[in-house]
Every structure is written in C-alpha cells, then in structure tokens.
Amino acid sequence: HLGATMLAWQGYTYVVAVVVIFLAVVLVVERIRGLDSFGLYVVTLIVGTVGFLMAMPYYYLQGDFGYWFTVPVFLWFGGLLVLLPFLFLRNAPWVVSVPALFLSVLAAAGGLYLYNPAYFSAVLTGQGYFIKSLIYSTVAEAQAPSFDALIVSYGVLTFFLAFAGFALFLYYLYAHRFRREHVFMVIFSLLGIYLPVSAAKFFLLGSPVFALLPAEVVLVGIDRLGLPQMRRNFASRRGPGEPLARPPPLGEAPSRGGGPHPDRAPAPERLVCHGRGHPLQHEGPVQPAGLQLPAAGAEGLSRECHLRLLRRRGDPGGHSHPV
C-alpha cells in the first residue's frame, strides 16, 4: 500500500510522518506498559523497504529523486534507526530506556543538521506540511482559512461531530489502555485536523478525518439507541421467512382499516411457539382439523405455551386433546 501511494501521490510524506509518529508513540507506551513491540518494528521495516523499492525507479527517472524521494527515506528509515537502540533496551527499566530514546533523537537530529541543513529543515518541517517557512507562508493557498470557511467546507454538522468523535477516541484510548488502533486514530486525527486549520490547501487531507470521526459518533448513537435489536424484534414478529408488507400496485386502491385487500385471499394465519430453540408453527385456519400438538413439557414447551396452542386450535379452556 505504501508503494502504491508513493506512485500515485507525491504528497505521500504525510503518510510517512503519520506512520513514524505512530511507531514512536506506540513503542514508548508499550515500553512503559512492559509489552514487546518487536513485531510492529519489523513490520514497519518491511513495509518501508518494499514500498520505497517500488517507487524508487519512478522518482529517479522523473528527476525528483533528490528531494521528493530522499527526504521521506530519511524520515522513515531515520526514524527506525533512532528507535533501534530503544528497542534493544526493552529489558531495561523504562526510566532508563525512554531518556535514552530522547538522547538518540537529539543526536540523530544534530548529525543530520551537520550533514545537510536543507534535509534537516525538510525532515523537521515535513517538507512544509507541518511547519511553514517564511517564503512558503507568503503563498496565498498556504494561509490559514477563516473559521467559518472551515466549517462550511466540511459541513456544519460534520465539522462539530468530528470533534465529538475525536473525544470518543480519546476516551477509547484511556478506557482500552492505549490499544494500537486507537493510538493510530488519535495521531491521524490530530494531523488531519491541524493541517486544514493551518492552510487552506490541506482541505483535502482533512477530508478522511472529517468523514471517519462523525461516522464513529453515528455508529455509537445507533448502538446506544438499540436500532439493530429493534430491527431483529420487528423481523421476529413477522415470523421466519415472511416478507415485509408491500404497498398495493400502481392504480390499485389500498385496503381500508388495515385489513387485507377485498380482492385478495386472506393470508394464512401463522402460529409460532418456541420450545428448545425449535419453533412449532402452523399455517391455515383458526381450527385446523389435523393440527398435532405436543403434550405439555414435550420439547421444552412451558405450560403457558401449550395452553396457547390449544386455545388457538379452538379449545378456549385449554383442555388437552389426544394427539
């Protein structure tokens, strides 16, 4: 997926930054919690290696290798290299390994600055995505949009529901003890909200965040209202296999009083009584001549359910008939 993104979108540095920040945060959190993150580190290394090898011929032949390819390479593999000592110190107390991580970050930043100040600036600012230079800030599309323009661009309801969804993921982060998917969503949301606020040209980058966060709020609302259970209850009242009621054909008057249409035969009555997970049902007249009824207690039937079957057969007193 990374290689396809690099070949389709030159702004893939945004994806690289999200993944590297996510990896660093997860490694620190899981180190404090005493969890092993070696598998996540190896997967990130494999994904980056395959993705950059896929995209390298294209950027080399297009002449964009010097900036649009090497800076994300420094960001991805430089982040993995800085995190490598921290990974080796996973058996040491976190009060030792976490400060060692910050020292390695400072050493790597200083080395990159001495090697190439332009690359240091590009990595630090995310190629202008996160920190704007003085020259870049003079561009009209790099100016911060007004608050009302931001709301109208995404929609009033969508905009405010996005912040409610972000609060939900912060709650998930605390309630579920920093699960990886919640950490990723919080980091992705922070960057996806910050970029459109900082510059109008990043409205498109914020669209996935302003779509996913309100969707989470709507999904939680549907679950809290119990709409899936209401649908199941409604379907069970129709009986197994019975279709929903359909409107009459075009030009045909609907039936009055909620009853069947006068030109149609009445639908057969259905009687369903559940035993041990096996429904006993009957379709036909109210007093079927050959309805075989089980005795009370058979197949897990309760006494009340058995009396209902007998009354439906035509015995108001619920007196038992030989079967």
The answer to whether residue 100 is domain-embedded is yes
- Alpha carbon distance 26, 183 (integer Å): 7
Beta carbons within 10 angstroms of residue 134's beta carbon? 6
- pLDDT exceeds 60 at position 289: no
Quick one: 157 and 106 in the same domain?
no
Q: What is the pLDDT of residues 189-241, one digit of tens each?
A: 999 998 888 888 888 889 999 999 999 999 999 888 887 777 777 777 655 55
The answer to whether residue 245 is domain-embedded is no
In this prediction, residue 320 carries a pLDDT of 42
The answer to whether residue 56 is domain-embedded is yes
In this prediction, residue 148 carries a pLDDT of 87
In this prediction, residue 314 carries a pLDDT of 54
In this prediction, residue 41 carries a pLDDT of 94
- pLDDT exceeds 50 at position 83: yes
- pLDDT exceeds 50 at position 322: no
In this prediction, residue 215 carries a pLDDT of 94
In this prediction, residue 204 carries a pLDDT of 87
- The count of structural domains within the chain is 3
Residues 6+ apart with CB under 8 A from 296: 302, 303, 306, 320
The answer to whether residue 149 is domain-embedded is yes
The answer to whether residue 84 is domain-embedded is yes
In the structure encoding, which two tokens stand for residue 195, read together? Answer: 């970029």
Range 77-89 average pLDDT? 89
Q: What is the pLDDT of residues 118-149, one digit of tens each?
A: 777 777 776 666 666 666 666 766 677 888 88
In the structure encoding, which two tokens stand for residue 148, read together? Answer: 């009302």
Determine the length of the chain.
323
Quick one: 83 and 41 in the same domain?
yes
In the structure encoding, which two tokens stand for residue 275, read together? Answer: 């035993």
- pLDDT exceeds 90 at position 168: yes
- Alpha carbon distance 71, 119 (integer Å): 6
Is residue 277 very low, low, confident or very high in pLDDT (cuts 50, 70, 90)?
very low
**Of 109, 78, 89, the residue nearest 28 (C-alpha):** 89
**Of 142, 19, 126, the residue nearest 83 (C-alpha):** 19
Report the DSSP beta bridge partners of residue 270: 283
Residues 6+ apart with CB under 8 A from 108: 78, 81, 82
Quick one: 116 and 22 in the same domain?
yes
Average pLDDT, the chain: 77
Q: Range of 40's domain?
A: 1-131
Question: With a threshold of 0.95, does the pTM exceed it?
Answer: no
Quick one: 174 and 292 in the same domain?
no
- Alpha carbon distance 28, 89 (integer Å): 11
- Alpha carbon distance 317, 278 (integer Å): 26
Domain boundary among 69, 97, 131: 131
Q: Which residues of 40-75 are buried (b: 16+ CB within 10 A; e: fewer)?
A: bbeebeeebeebbeebeeebeeeeeeeebbebbebb
The answer to whether residue 252 is domain-embedded is no
The answer to whether residue 243 is domain-embedded is no
In this prediction, residue 321 carries a pLDDT of 43
In this prediction, residue 105 carries a pLDDT of 87
Task: Answer for the pair 172, 182: CB distance below 8 angstroms, yes or no.
Answer: yes
Q: What is the pLDDT of residues 240-275, one digit of tens each?
A: 555 555 555 555 555 544 444 445 444 444 444 544
* Least confident window among 39-43, 156-160, 223-227: 223-227
Quick one: 196 and 292 in the same domain?
no
The full 3-state SS of the chain, as one line of letters, equals CHHHHHHHCCCCHHHHHHHHHHHHHHHHHHHHCCCCCHHHHHHHHHHHHHHHHHHHHHHHHHCCHHHHHHHHHHHHHHHHHHHHHHHHCCCCCHHHHHHHHHHHHHHHHHHHHHHCHHHHHHHHHCCCCCCCCCCHHHCHHHCCCCHHHHHHHHCHHHHHHHHHHHHHHHHHHHHCCCCHHHHHHHHHHHHHHHHHHHCHHHHHHHHHHHHHHHHHHHHHHHHHHCHHHHHHHHHHHHCCCCCCCCCCCCCCCCCCCCCCCCCCCCCCEEEEEECCCCEEEEEECCCCCCCCCCCCCHHHCCHHHHHHHHHHHCCCCCCCCCC
Is residue 66 very low, low, confident or very high in pLDDT (cuts 50, 70, 90)?
confident
The answer to whether residue 242 is domain-embedded is no
Range 52-64 average pLDDT? 88
Domain boundary among 236, 253, 278: 236
In this prediction, residue 163 carries a pLDDT of 95
Q: How many angstroms separate the first and last alpha carbons of the chain? A: 67
